[in-house]
Amino acid sequence: MTVMPADLSGIDVRAEIERLRKERNAVILAHYYQRPELQDIADFVGDSLELSRKAAETDAEVIAFCGVKFMAETAKILSPNKIVVLPDVEAGCSLEDSCPPEKFKAFREAHPDHIALTYINCSTEVKALSDIIVTSSSAETILQQIPADQKIIFGPDRHLGGYLSRKFGREMLLWPGVCIVHEAFSETELLKLKAQHPAAPIAAHPECPPHIVDHADYVGSTSGILQYAKTTDADTLIVATEPHIIHQMQLAIPNKTFIGAPGADGNCNCNICPYMALNTMEKLYVALRDLEPRIEIEEQLRLDAKKSLDRMLDMASGTLGKGDLGTR
């Protein structure tokens, strides 16, 4: 159940967050899909891979994670001695919901000669059942390190898996999950927008379905899209991912124009992630004040999930040899 902050009138929430951040020795991490005010107050804003790395490295005693539950759980898996709080514990993810651990386990057991390459957008239980975790910015590097004859299950995002499969000509068994946000972009509306701005390239996240990705000039993670926005010569960019990332683009490149790709209604509001939007400044303040809602993970489960995450962190930096993979 979502905990609504009690009446906070009269409280300078921003000043209180600043005070508590110091008092608690806390670091505030935020994903690019968070509200602008949360991005602005965070110590670090990043994509899923960058945030995992920050969570593993930080010296802070408390991690206040402005993102969704699987991200905060990843922080706890990697930094078990730190207190990890998530401003709204209901901040889930449609991809995680699409992949119940018992069904994933049965799927794995039905394909014993496959390794499970699993998108980080999943539960801790599914991470524990997986061989290697990937994010959208590490997936290509990691896939290329897996021997060509190794059979692969990819879950839970069938669009990211399908994109990788097409790009590398690699067959994979795909779990049928989707991100409800990226699924909502409309090809018809995107093409209408493109006709109005023919010189504007399209940057798309690989969680988008093929009918969107196929029109993109650039496909990549949130940090990849941000980098593309900075480096493209175009002065207008069409952005096919959750529109809150546009805040970072406007801060970094104020002289360019960024247009969110539309949903079926012709505007991009339906592409705001409803889970990410649950976090607010007020809830962040309460989380730092009460050190709740706190992420807790049973130790054996944490250790099992950490193996697949550690493999990602090693392989993403190229330190694990090609022969080190094995089926479970």
Q: Which residues bind ligand 13P (CB under 6 A)?
A: 32, 47-48, 121, 135-137, 179, 207, 221-222
Nearest partner of 162 among 208, 125, 95, 202, judged by Cα: 208
Residue with tokens 């004040």: 289
Nearer residue to ligand SF4 within complex by CB, 16 or 73 = 73
Tokens encoding 265: 């209604």
3-state secondary structure of 160: helix
Shortest Å, Cβ 109 to ligand 13P? 28
Which position among 38, 86, 208, 273 is part of the footprint of ligand SF4 (CB under 6 A)? 273
Tokens 């994903």 map to which residue? Answer: 31
Q: Does 242 bind ligand SF4 (CB under 6 A)?
A: yes
Part of the chain binding ligand SF4 (CB under 6 A), chosen from 91-99, 187-195, 257-265, 293-301: 91-99
Instruction: Between 182 and 215, name the residue whose CB sits nearer to ligand SF4.
Output: 182
Rounded least distance, CB 197 to ligand 13P, Å: 24
Residue 68 near ligand SF4 by CB under 6 A? yes
With CB cut-offs between 5 and 8 Å by kind, which of ligand SF4, ligand 13P, none does residue 94 bind? ligand SF4
Q: Sign of the CA dihedral 133, 135, 138, 141?
A: positive
Q: How far is the CB of 127 from ligand 13P (least distance, A)?
A: 15
CB of 273 to ligand 13P, least distance (A): 7
124 touches, from ligand SF4, ligand 13P, none (C-beta below 5 to 8 Å by class): none
| Closest C-alpha among 324, 317, 319, 311 to residue 78 | 311
SS3 64: strand
Cα radius of gyration rounded to whole Å, the chain: 20
Cα 177 to Cα 133, 173, 189, 212, 312: the distances in Å are: 16, 12, 24, 17, 21
Q: Does 146 bind ligand SF4 (CB under 6 A)?
A: no
Binding of ligand SF4 by 95 (CB under 6 A): yes
Q: Which does 58 bind (CB under 5 to 8 A by kind): ligand SF4, ligand 13P, none?
A: none
Question: Which positions ≥6 away from 133 have C-beta within 8 Å?
Answer: 118, 119, 120, 127, 308, 309, 311, 312
**In this complex, which beta carbon is closest to ligand SF4, that of residue 243 or of residue 293?**
243
From the list ligand 13P, ligand SF4, none, partner contacted by residue 136 (C-beta under 5 to 8 A by kind)? ligand 13P
Q: Which residues does residue 237 pair with via DSSP β-bridges, in sequence order?
A: 258
Q: Among 79, 94, 186, 222, which residue sits at the site for ligand SF4 (rule: CB under 6 A)?
A: 94
Phi-psi region of 177 (alpha: psi -120 to 50; beta: other; left: phi over 0): beta
221 binds, among ligand SF4, ligand 13P, none (CB under 5 to 8 A by kind): ligand 13P
